[in-house]
Amino acid sequence: MRNGTKIAIAQINCAVGDMKGNAEKILEMAEKARDSGASILLTPELAICGYPPEDLLLRSGFYRASNEALKHLAQRIKGISVVVGHPIELDGKRYNAASLIREGRIEATYHKLELPNYAVFDEERYFESGSNPVVFDLGGIKFGIAICEDIWEKKAAQLAMKAGAQVLLVLNASPFHMEKQALRYKIARERIKEGGFSLVYANLVGGQDELVFDGASFAMDEKGEVVARMPSFEEGLGIVEIGKGGEIHPECSLEESVYKALCLGVSDYVGKNRFPGVLLGLSGGIDSALTLAVAVDSLGADKVHAVMMPSRYTAQMSLDDSREMAQIFGVRYTELPIEAIHSLFLETLSKEFEGRPVDATEENIQARVRGTLLMALSNKSGAIVLTTGNKSEMAVGYSTLYGDMAGGFAVLKDIKKTLVYRLANFRNGLGHVIPDRVLTRPPSAELREDQKDQDSLPPYEVLDAVMEAYMEQDLSLHEVAKLGINLEDARRVIHLIKINEYKRRQSPVGIRITQRGFGRDWRYPITSKFLDEY
């Protein structure tokens, strides 16, 4: 990089469909960037409309509203050039676009070339591919434009380079998953090595349903060295000076990045959907303890209501630990014993159950009583229920439909059990909020006498290893066994994953933090006879 020209990065949290609000954020960033001496401001992908708009992109009115917001924004920007992401409809075709705003007008528009259609992305459903590069001159430097997936393939960057680009400006809405930043760096360096240009990467930040965008925008020089990096999981304006770079903020550890992703996912889901607060069932176990910590850290104690619903099987230590955590966090805390309600259910069903052994049915009734109570409190207060189940439980169906699965947002839906413990220890490292015995006692649903999770499931270390290999990496049964996992354990876990698809389809949306979560990028049939023994 050379010359001293300053490029600003608008790392902003855009709300899907809020064209006016998003445009105001871009305008505010443009004015701050101009006052900081920057010549150009780069926004994230589809910043005008938010990302991903999904099937809103099938509505012509969505494009008209975006276009109006873009035109109004262009008229108000003075003294600085801005590259802004937006959707556009032209001659019956729709594009994922980025426009250069200069001197109060839209000077040029680039159409995204590479359309991702894998994992959580469905852009071929909505957009046509562009074909022509856009390169413009500013201060004697030629800037090219690329949009997110464009740098994951060679063609778009090569076209920009052939058109004379010296600096590639990349607009991104790149969702977070663990180790994602290292993958971004790898891809960026590949393109730089091929093209010899420097690169500025502006990424969206914020939560949108199950996706979280971590920001972590950066710049690299012609050697692929990181010369600027913005903080993860927070909005801000970054300044990169050609020839000097900019501030390099430290990267998060894996546990810190996941915890921050959970907090951002909760705060934006609750805030953007205008829920007044959250409810959760506090059991004295590790999952609800971690969910409580995330809820308080993301929303504040005044917006969190913890409800303990003891039964005849609830241990005294569970009551004591729940009370202690509620006091530590300073949240509203309620105890609603369910013994009388549970007994009434059993009495009502006694004739139908006569002559049949006690089994999981009676256990599930307790969970469903609790789910009903939480949903009643939710209806009355308007607060949304946060479910507390983790990915390991969701995988094998160790959860109750209309019971502990009842709620509006699943905070730990993509967090395997072994990671739950790591995150809880990470949070305690910031300040001891989860009692030690919650971390050390064997996990239990406490739905029958002396119950332990491992009575019904393989050890979580085994379960998580099988789930990760089979579900996240698409390995077959025998490929999983070759990893050193007992074949019968692997077969059992995979069988449970398959037969519980119907449950997962009815689970609430939850935060995605892996390369593959049980959500929009897991699309397996409920009805299937395929055994996958090969």
Write out the chain's pLDDT in tens, 534 residues: 456 899 999 999 999 999 999 999 999 999 999 999 999 999 999 999 999 999 999 999 999 999 999 999 999 999 999 999 999 999 999 999 999 999 899 999 999 999 999 889 999 999 999 989 999 999 899 999 999 999 999 999 999 999 999 999 999 999 999 999 999 999 999 999 998 999 999 999 999 999 999 999 999 999 999 999 999 999 999 999 998 999 999 999 999 999 999 999 999 999 999 999 999 999 999 999 999 999 999 999 999 999 999 998 888 999 999 999 999 999 999 999 999 999 999 999 999 999 999 999 999 999 999 999 999 999 999 999 999 999 999 999 999 999 999 999 999 999 999 999 999 999 999 999 999 999 998 777 666 676 676 667 889 999 999 999 999 999 999 999 999 999 999 999 999 999 999 999 999 999 999 999 999 889 999 998 887 765
| Cα–Cα distance measured from residue 498 to residue 397, given in angstroms and rounded to the nearest whole number | 10
- Name the active-site residue from 25, 45, 263, 417: 45
| Cα–Cα distance measured from residue 175 to residue 207, given in angstroms and rounded to the nearest whole number | 9
Rg (CA), the chain: 26
| Cα–Cα distance measured from residue 429 to residue 419, given in angstroms and rounded to the nearest whole number | 15
Question: Which 3 state secondary structure label does DSSP give 82?
Answer: strand
Given a contact cutoff of 8 angstroms between Cβ atoms, the answer to whether 466 and 493 are in contact is yes
Compute the C-alpha angle 109/115/116, nearest 5°: 140
Query: 107-134 in b/e burial notation, b at 16+ Cβ within 10 A?
Result: eebbbbbbbbeeebbbbeebbbebeebb
CATH architecture assignment, domain 6-250 = 4-Layer Sandwich (3.60)
Distance spanning both ends of the chain, measured CA to CA: 52
Given a contact cutoff of 8 angstroms between Cβ atoms, the answer to whether 195 and 168 are in contact is yes
Residue 45 annotated among the catalytic residues of the structure? yes
| Cα–Cα distance measured from residue 245 to residue 407, given in angstroms and rounded to the nearest whole number | 46
Residue 263 annotated among the catalytic residues of the structure? no
- Name the active-site residue from 25, 49, 123, 148: 148
Compute the C-alpha angle 418/255/271, nearest 5°: 105
Locate all alpha helices (DSSP H) within 330-415, ordered by sequence.
339-348, 350-353, 360-381, 391-396
Q: Which amino acid is at 66?
A: S
| Cα–Cα distance measured from residue 455 to residue 478, given in angstroms and rounded to the nearest whole number | 25
Q: Which amino acid is at 33?
A: A
Question: Which 3 state secondary structure label does DSSP give 118?
Answer: coil
| Cα–Cα distance measured from residue 31 to residue 27, given in angstroms and rounded to the nearest whole number | 6
Q: Using CB atoms within 10 Å of the CB of residue 450, give its burial: 0 to 12 exposed, 13 to 18 middle, 19+ buried.
A: exposed
The residue extents of the domains of the chain are 6-250, 257-453
Which pLDDT score is estimated for 223? 94
Given a contact cutoff of 8 angstroms between Cβ atoms, the answer to whether 375 and 367 are in contact is no
Orientation angle between helical segments 339-348 and 360-381, nearest 10 degrees: 120
Given a contact cutoff of 8 angstroms between Cβ atoms, the answer to whether 30 and 22 are in contact is no
| Cα–Cα distance measured from residue 344 to residue 350, given in angstroms and rounded to the nearest whole number | 10
| Cα–Cα distance measured from residue 238 to residue 228, given in angstroms and rounded to the nearest whole number | 8
Token pair of 61 as six digits: 């009115």
What is the β-pairing status of strands 304-308 and 332-335? parallel
Mean pLDDT of the chain, nearest integer: 94
What is the phi/psi pair of residue 92, to 5°? 80, 0
257-453 folds as: Rossmann fold (3.40.50)
Nearest to 497 by CA among 472, 461, 521, 534: 472
Q: What is the pTM of this model?
A: 0.94
Q: What would the pLDDT profile of 361-394 be if each residue is shown by its tens digit?
A: 999 999 999 999 999 999 999 999 999 999 999 9
| Cα–Cα distance measured from residue 82 to residue 470, given in angstroms and rounded to the nearest whole number | 45
Which pLDDT score is estimated for 110? 97
Residue 14 annotated among the catalytic residues of the structure? no
Q: How far is CA 47 from CA 19, 26, 314, 357, in A?
A: 9, 8, 49, 59
Question: Which 3 state secondary structure label does DSSP give 87?
Answer: strand
- What string of H, E and C letters represents the secondary structure of 175-217? ECCCCHHHHHHHHHHHHHHHHCCEEEEEECEEEECCEEEEECC
- Name the active-site residue from 25, 112, 391, 417: 112
Q: How far is CA 157 from CA 153, 188, 189, in A?
A: 8, 10, 12
Given a contact cutoff of 8 angstroms between Cβ atoms, the answer to whether 402 and 503 are in contact is no
